[in-house]
Amino acid sequence: MNIYIASFLKLLFLKLIFVNTLSARPVSYEDGWTFITYNNYDSHSTLIHYSPTSKYSIGLKSEYWQQKEYFLNSINLNYLVKRINKKYSQANVYVKSGLGIISSDYAHYENKNEIAGHLEISSDWETRRYFISYFSKAIKSKSIDDTYIQGVRFGVAPYIADYGKLHTWFMFALKHMPEVENTVTPEVILRLFKSTNLMEIGIDRKKNLAFNFIKRF
């Protein structure tokens, strides 16, 4: 009987870790839908995707880059390359890709449209107390844009919340864009989530605000 109780408690704990981290994932549970919006000084994006299985998702993404004044609308495919579940932690590696149309009337582009693609590799590791993640992303079109971005996040939860309660994370992020004047941008972020809803509010060193929201269905 003790073996069954121990197995049940282990499965319950792993489920709590999975639910605790699920909302930030680019792949949902099987047959799940996700709505994501990211908004900061550089860009605004909206993504809705469907996960036929827990290994991959497919969706539509629209993003607007403010300084470069272009829209990129694309079909996205996200794939879970590897997930490692330990007793007190979880690690993930993802590949996110997209192909679509980039449109711009900035400077000499005069309402120009091109085929564009983007590719991102991301990874994360976390416990119920600590979090670390890294991503590397490239956006490429023929002439409108050729951008590379990478970033890292470190987070800590000031308290351990029970299942169904409000979870809070304090995070510090660094973003690196070689093409801009200040190539490295630090940011502090407050992450709140409960159930299938996640919200982030951030501010960088220039006092630019960021707002992100994720909803699972």
Domain ranges, ordered by start, for the chain: 2-216
**DSSP state string for 70-135:** EEEEEEEEEEEEEEEE-SS-EEEEEEEEEEEEEEE-SGGGSSEEEEEEEEEEEEEEE-SSEEEEEE
Higher-pLDDT residue of 170 and 180 is 170
Pairing relationship of beta strands 32-39 and 43-51 according to DSSP bridges: antiparallel
Averaged pLDDT for residues 155-175: 92
Q: Kindly give, in sequence order, each residue whose CB lies less than 8 Å from that of residue 89, ignoring residues fewer than 6 positions away.
A: 17, 125, 126, 127
For residues 107 and 22, which has the higher predicted lDDT (pLDDT)?
A: 107
The yes-or-no verdict on residue 114 having pLDDT over 70 is yes
Q: Is the pLDDT of residue 28 over 50?
A: yes
pLDDT at position 7 over 60: no
- The answer to whether 90 touches 126, Cβ cutoff 8 Å, is yes
pLDDT (0 to 100) of residue 45: 94
Query: What DSSP designation does 41 have?
Result: S
Express as a percent the part of the chain with pLDDT over 90.
66
41 vs 106, residue with greater confidence = 41
Instruction: Share the mean pLDDT of the chain.
Output: 87
Architecture of domain 2-216 in CATH? Answer: Beta Barrel (2.40)
Residue entry with tokens 């992303």: 137
DSSP assignment, residue 175? Answer: E
Say which DSSP state 28 is in. Answer: -
Distance CA 49, CA 20 (A): 20
Residues 18-41, mean pLDDT to the nearest whole number = 75
**pTM of the prediction?**
0.83
Tokens for 41? Answer: 């000084």
Pick 187 or 110 by higher pLDDT. 187
**Is the model's pLDDT at 29 over the cut of 50?**
yes
pLDDT for the residue numbered 12: 44
Q: Which residues pair with 210 in a beta bridge?
A: 202
The pLDDT value given to residue 24: 58
